Chains A and B, each alone.
Chain A
Amino acid sequence: MEAEVEGFAQFAEGRQRALQQAAWLLTGDWALAEDLVQTALIRSWPRWERIGRRGDPELYVRRVMVNTWMAWSRRRWRGETPSMAVPDSRAPGDVAAEVTVRVAVRDALGSLTARQRAVLVLRVYDDLSEAQVAQVLDCAVGTVKSTMARAVAKLREDPRLAELMDREAR
């Protein structure tokens, strides 16, 4: 029991930053991201021992996180909230450019459905395979493919994002 608790605390401590970042991509809001990660950790902790035995604990926690987010969104499309205050940025370098990217990406992601957003974050940002994404979302691989295609097509329609990608391609 103690080892179980320690193992989880270590995992949570070590991975919370990465989890929060993925959660921000899902929610577009740091406060919501924090709540989401916290909820996912609370839901995963009691099952930690079993999760550890079964293989990849992080995949499990991400699965809980994404599904919790989808449930939240289904409730009332929280993700629909159009861009609000400019997000805080403390990073050095070209702050203006960085904020531009942040706002553009957040707004573009905001135009996706919760499922499209989840697929995109899992597939592109978390770098999971299509089969893994299908497992996380409990759907067919074909659904992952088609959802991903729709998400990418929709992002292409976003002029600001298209411009940023063109700039990067050069």
Chain B
Amino acid sequence: MDGQLRELLEAAVGEPPRKISIETVRRRVARRRAVEYGSGAAAVAIIAGLIPASIGALGHGPATPRMGVQGPVRGPIAYVANAGSGTVTPIRTATNTALPPVKTGHLPQAIAITPDGMTAYVANTRSGTVVPIRTATNTALPPVKTGPGPRAIAITVDGKTAYVVNSRTVTPIRTATNTALPPVNVGPGAYDIAITPDGKTAYVTSQNLSTVTPIRTPTNTALAPVKVGRLPEAIAITPDGKTAYVVNSGTVTPIRTATNTALPPIKTGIEPFAIAITPDGTTAYVVKTASNTVVPIQIATNRPGKPIKVGTDPDAIAITPDGKTAYVVNQYRGTVTPIQTATNTALAPVKVGRLPEAIAITPDGKTAYVVNTGSGTVTPIQTATNTALAPMKVGRDPVAIAITP
């Protein structure tokens, strides 16, 4: 078997289409050293800012401030998608108790909750379905068939439509009836989605084509794709809806939403990954995984500030609703670094579980919930004192979290 397998693997591997430029590697190493030793902030290439309209859930998403809608009386519920168990664990945030898991499907890895807090939509990547969960009873409704490989969801502010990003299409779902509308083609390697605050346009990144496709939501028609940088990943839109920011491999491309034109890319250096904007829309925080830093960007000028050193392999960020603290999850260290946004200083890291990769903050801003993918737990952090409370057991490989309003 091994010998045969080896032959097959060798037969399957082709020639790399491009040679890696060692000179580029050399330059990037030099740039990284400059960052690490603090000697050349000017050499640090940087980013712009954004706020994901997708509510919660994705590893890179900040906790989006909710609309002023009353949630269920028993207080907010956090929903944690357990990719390895095929379940979602509801957590009562008032008491920090994990409720019995709800079965969803294979490889759930994205959740979004309607603005009224009544329904959580869970994308099951391997099943090709989205399962709505009634939050009042924590019961799963019948799965809605999507395209293959759904991996991201965003819901319009009016709560009427959930947009599900599949591997090359987007499936709109009418939330009133939980019926799927015809898929909209966006190209291979579709990855992330953000919807403008007015709900009129959804922007979807396509990694393979290096494009962002705007979708007009009233008619669900795709407009001409906008060319961005290589491997576009996260996308988010400013609170005023004027600009969408796309995090590519090494750059960030701002897109003017009025005309759907790309502005010149902002160089960031390798592996910018997560991004979050303060609720007042003044500063974007960009997490640079490879250099273990977070860079604050003044949105008005798109100018980067001094990089803030955090832990090893930071990969998720969330900002409190009052905008005073940004929490950065350091995957390899198993810690969370709070950053005071007023001074952009990092506070002492808070120890959480193994390989944390997602974070969400309650609407009242009092508690941050950190999803420890490696431990299968969720650690609440009291934001007033930055102390970790006892972790709660959830399912296997939890990867995403969203909290009801």
Contacts and interface: CB of A to CB of B under 8 A. Distances in A.
B82 to A, nearest CB: 13
Nearest to B316: A75
Contacts of A98: 11, 14
Interface in A13-30: 13, 16-17, 20-21, 24-25, 29-30
A16 B22 CA distance: 9
B12 A80 contact: no
Interface in B1-41: 1-2, 4-20, 22, 24-26, 28-29, 32-33
Interface residues on A, range: 35 or more
B25 A42 contact: yes
Interface string B277-291: 000000000000010
Contacts, number: 157
Given A35-B249, A124-B6, A43 B25 contact: no
A101 B4 contact: no
Q: Could you say which of A17, A124, A125, A168 has the most chain B C-beta atoms within 10 Å of its C-beta?
A: A124
Interface in B298-319: 313, 315
Given A42-B32, A169-B4, A16 B20 contact: yes
A39 B5 contact: no
Interface of A: 5, 9, 12-13, 16-17, 20-21, 24-25, 29-35, 37-39, 41-43, 45-46, 71, 74-77, 80-82, 84-85, 87-91, 98, 101-102, 104-106, 120-121, 123-125, 127, 152, 155, 161, 164-165, 168-169
Contacts of B208: 29, 31, 84-85
B107 A77 contact: yes
A85 B188 contact: yes
Contact of A20 (B10, B16, B32, B83): B16
B17 A9 contact: no
Contacts of A37: 20
A95 to B, nearest CB: 11
B167 interface: yes
Contact of B109 (A12, A45, A77): A77
Contact of A25 (B13, B83, B249, B399): B13
B230 interface: yes
